Chains A and B, each alone.
Chain A
Amino acid sequence: MSATAATNEASDLRDTALDGPELRVRLSKTWGTESGLWGALTTVDHKIIGRRYLITTFVFLFLAGLAAVAMRLQLAQPESKLIGPDLYNQLFTMHGTTMMFLFGVPVGEAFAVYLVPLMVGTRNIAFPRLNAFSYWVFLFGGLFLWISFFLNIGPDVGWFAYVPLSGPEFSPGKRADTWAQMITFTEVAGLAVAIEIVVTVLKQRAPGMTLDRIPLFVWAVFINSLVIIFALPAVVVASSFLIMDRLIGTHLFNPAEGGDALLFQHLFWFFGHPEVYIIFLPATGMVSAIVVTFARRQAFGYLALVLSLIAVAFLSFGLWVHHMFTTGLPQLGYAFFTASSMLIAVPNGLQIFCWIATLWDGRPDFKTPLLFVLGFFFIFVAGGLSGVLLASVPLDTQVHDTYFVVAHFHYVLIGGAVFPILGAIYYWFPKFTGRMLSERLGRWHFWLAFVGFNVAFFAMHISGLMGMPRRVYTYTAEMNWGALNLVSTIGALMLAASFALFLFNILRSMRVGAIAGDNPWGAGTLEWATASPPPPHNFDRIPFVTSREPLWAERDSLPVVTGLRVDNRELIASTVTEARAELREPSPEPSIWPFLAAIATGITFVASIFSPWAVVWGGALVAITLIGWFWPKGSKEDEG
Chain B
Amino acid sequence: MRRPATILVLLLALAGCNTIQSPLDPASPQAHDLNRLFWIFVAVLGAIWLAVMVALAVALRAPRPAGADPLATDRGRDRRFGIVITGLAVATGVMVLVLTGLSYAAQRRLFAVEEEAVTIRVMGQQWWWQFTYEDVDASRTFITANEFHVPVGKPVKVKLNAVDVIHSFWVPSLMGKQDLIPGRENDIRFVAERPGVYRGQCAEFCGLQHAHMGLLVVVEAPEDFERWREAQISAAQPPTDSERQKGLEAFLSKPCVMCHTVRGTPAGGRTGPDLTHVGGRLTLAAGTLPMSRGNLAAWIVDPHGIKPGVNMPLIKLDPDELNSIAAYLEGLK
Q: Which residue of A lies closest to B14 (CB)?
A: A462
Q: Which of A377, A402, A454 contacts B56 (CB 8 A)?
A: A377
Q: Which A residues are CB-close (under 8 A) to B20? A: 467, 478-479
Which stretch, B91-99, B242-250, B273-281, B325-333, touches the partner chain A?
B91-99
Q: Which of B41, B68, B108, B160 contacts A392 (CB 8 A)?
A: B41
User: How far in angstroms is the closest Cβ of chain B from A239?
Assistant: 18
> Within 8 Å of chain B (Cβ to Cβ): is A561?
no
Contact A349 B92 (CB under 8 A): yes
> Within 8 Å of chain A (Cβ to Cβ): is B241?
no
Within A133-171, the residues touching B (CB, 8 Å) are 158, 162, 164-165, 169-170
Give the docked Cα–Cα distance between A170 and B309 (Å): 13
Contact A300 B81 (CB under 8 A): yes
Q: Which residue of A lies closest to B87 (CB)?
A: A353
Contact B182 A346 (CB under 8 A): no
Q: Which B residues are CB-close (under 8 A) to A262? A: 181, 184
> Within 8 Å of chain A (Cβ to Cβ): is B117?
no
User: How far in angstroms is the closest Cβ of chain B from A478?
Assistant: 8
Contact A326 B178 (CB under 8 A): yes
Contact A389 B42 (CB under 8 A): yes
Which stretch, B169-177, B220-228, B232-240, B255-263, touches the partner chain A?
B169-177
Contact A85 B308 (CB under 8 A): yes
A297-B70, A389-B45, A465-B23 as given contacts; A84 in contact with B107, CB under 8 Å: no
> Within 8 Å of chain B (Cβ to Cβ): is A211?
no
Contact A89 B177 (CB under 8 A): no
Taking residues whose C-beta sits less than 8 angstroms from the other chain, chain B's interface range is: 35 or more
Within B61-107, the residues touching A (CB, 8 Å) are 62-66, 68-71, 73-74, 77-78, 81-82, 84-85, 88-89, 92-93, 95-96, 99-100, 102-104, 106-107
Q: Which of B102, B166, B203 contacts A164 (CB 8 A)?
A: B166
A162-B166, A339-B100, A392-B99 as given contacts; A398 in contact with B23, CB under 8 Å: yes
> Within 8 Å of chain B (Cβ to Cβ): is A335?
yes
Contact A465 B14 (CB under 8 A): yes
> Within 8 Å of chain A (Cβ to Cβ): is B19?
yes
A298-B73, A524-B70 as given contacts; A346 in contact with B42, CB under 8 Å: no
Contact B176 A398 (CB under 8 A): yes
Q: Which of A165, A331, A342, A395 contacts B38 (CB 8 A)?
A: A395
A85-B211, A334-B107, A381-B52 as given contacts; A552 in contact with B70, CB under 8 Å: yes
The tally of residues in A whose CB lies under 8 Å from a CB in B reads 89
User: How far in angstroms is the closest Cβ of chain A from B165?
Assistant: 4
Q: Which of A346, A363, A386, A454 contacts B93 (CB 8 A)?
A: A346
Contact B71 A480 (CB under 8 A): no
Q: Which of B34, B45, B104, B207 contacts A165 (CB 8 A)?
A: B207
Q: Which A residues are CB-close (under 8 A) to B42? A: 389
Give the docked Cα–Cα distance between A395 and B288 (Å): 28
> Within 8 Å of chain B (Cβ to Cβ): is A560?
no
> Within 8 Å of chain B (Cβ to Cβ): is A393?
yes
Contact A467 B45 (CB under 8 A): no
Contact A363 B211 (CB under 8 A): no
Q: Which residue of B lies closest to A400 (CB)?
A: B177
A326-B177, A458-B7 as given contacts; A86 in contact with B208, CB under 8 Å: yes
A342-B96, A465-B22 as given contacts; A363 in contact with B65, CB under 8 Å: yes
Contact A326 B168 (CB under 8 A): yes
Q: Which B residues are CB-close (under 8 A) to A391? A: 103
Q: Which residue of A lies closest to B175 (CB)?
A: A397
Contact B179 A326 (CB under 8 A): yes
Q: Which A residues are CB-close (under 8 A) to B19? A: 466-467, 479-480
Number of A-B contacts (CB under 8 A): 266
Contact A395 B41 (CB under 8 A): yes
Contact A328 B184 (CB under 8 A): yes
> Within 8 Å of chain B (Cβ to Cβ): is A469?
yes
Give the docked Cα–Cα distance between A116 and B82 (Å): 30
Q: Which of B64, B107, B126, B165 contacts A394 (CB 8 A)?
A: B107
User: How far in angstroms is the closest Cβ of chain A from B111?
Assistant: 6
> Within 8 Å of chain B (Cβ to Cβ): is A364?
yes
User: How far in angstroms is the closest Cβ of chain B from A261?
Assistant: 6
Q: Which residue of B lies closest to A347 (CB)?
A: B89
Contact A381 B49 (CB under 8 A): yes
Q: Which residue of B lies closest to A359 (CB)?
A: B59
Contact B104 A346 (CB under 8 A): no
> Within 8 Å of chain B (Cβ to Cβ): is A304?
yes
Q: Which A residues are CB-close (under 8 A) to B134? A: none
Q: Which residue of B lies closest to A454 (CB)?
A: B3
User: How far in angstroms is the closest Cβ of chain A from B31?
Assistant: 8
Give the docked Cα–Cα distance between A224 and B190 (Å): 44
Give the docked Cα–Cα distance between A2 and B149 (Å): 90
Q: Which B residues are CB-close (under 8 A) to A479? A: 19-21
Give the docked Cα–Cα distance between A381 and B201 (Å): 31
Q: Which residue of A lies closest to B307 (CB)?
A: A85
Contact B22 A467 (CB under 8 A): yes
> Within 8 Å of chain B (Cβ to Cβ): is A513?
no
Give the docked Cα–Cα distance between A177 and B104 (Å): 40
Q: Which of A296, A304, A402 contacts B68 (CB 8 A)?
A: A296
Q: Which residue of B lies closest to A92 (CB)?
A: B205
> Within 8 Å of chain B (Cβ to Cβ): is A517?
no
> Within 8 Å of chain A (Cβ to Cβ): is B252?
no
> Within 8 Å of chain B (Cβ to Cβ): is A603?
no
Q: Which of A328, A349, A465 contacts B178 (CB 8 A)?
A: A328
Q: Which B residues are CB-close (under 8 A) to A374? A: 56, 60
Q: Which A residues are CB-close (under 8 A) to B209? A: 85
A385-B45, A392-B41 as given contacts; A378 in contact with B70, CB under 8 Å: no
Q: Which residue of A lies closest to B65 (CB)?
A: A363
Q: Which residue of B lies closest to A358 (CB)?
A: B59
Contact B178 A472 (CB under 8 A): no
Within B172-219, the residues touching A (CB, 8 Å) are 172, 175-179, 181-184, 186, 199, 201-211
Give the docked Cα–Cα distance between A480 and B110 (Å): 29
Give the docked Cα–Cα distance between A304 and B210 (Å): 46
Contact B56 A255 (CB under 8 A): no
> Within 8 Å of chain A (Cβ to Cβ): is B27?
no
Give the docked Cα–Cα distance between A357 and B52 (Å): 11
Give the docked Cα–Cα distance between A260 and B182 (Å): 9
> Within 8 Å of chain A (Cβ to Cβ): is B55?
yes
Contact B52 A377 (CB under 8 A): yes
Give the docked Cα–Cα distance between A100 and B95 (Å): 31
> Within 8 Å of chain B (Cβ to Cβ): is A535?
no
Contact A363 B100 (CB under 8 A): no
Within A341-364, the residues touching B (CB, 8 Å) are 342-343, 345-346, 349-350, 352-354, 356-357, 359-364
A261-B166, A363-B66, A470-B205 as given contacts; A389 in contact with B183, CB under 8 Å: no
Contact B71 A397 (CB under 8 A): no
User: How far in angstroms is the closest Cβ of chain B from A244?
Assistant: 19
In the A-B complex, the 5 residue pairs with the closest CB atoms: A397-B176, A255-B183, A467-B21, A328-B186, A472-B211
Q: Identify 6 residue pairs between A and B in the complex whose beta-carbon atoms are under 8 Å apart, listed by A's number.
A: A256-B183, A296-B70, A298-B70, A301-B82, A361-B73, A552-B71
Instruction: Using A350-B85, A357-B85 as known contacts, list a sample of 20 further A-B pairs with CB atoms less than 8 Å apart, ordered by residue number in A.
Output: A164-B165, A165-B207, A298-B71, A328-B186, A335-B103, A338-B100, A349-B89, A359-B59, A385-B46, A385-B49, A388-B41, A389-B41, A389-B45, A391-B103, A394-B37, A462-B10, A467-B21, A467-B22, A469-B170, A552-B71
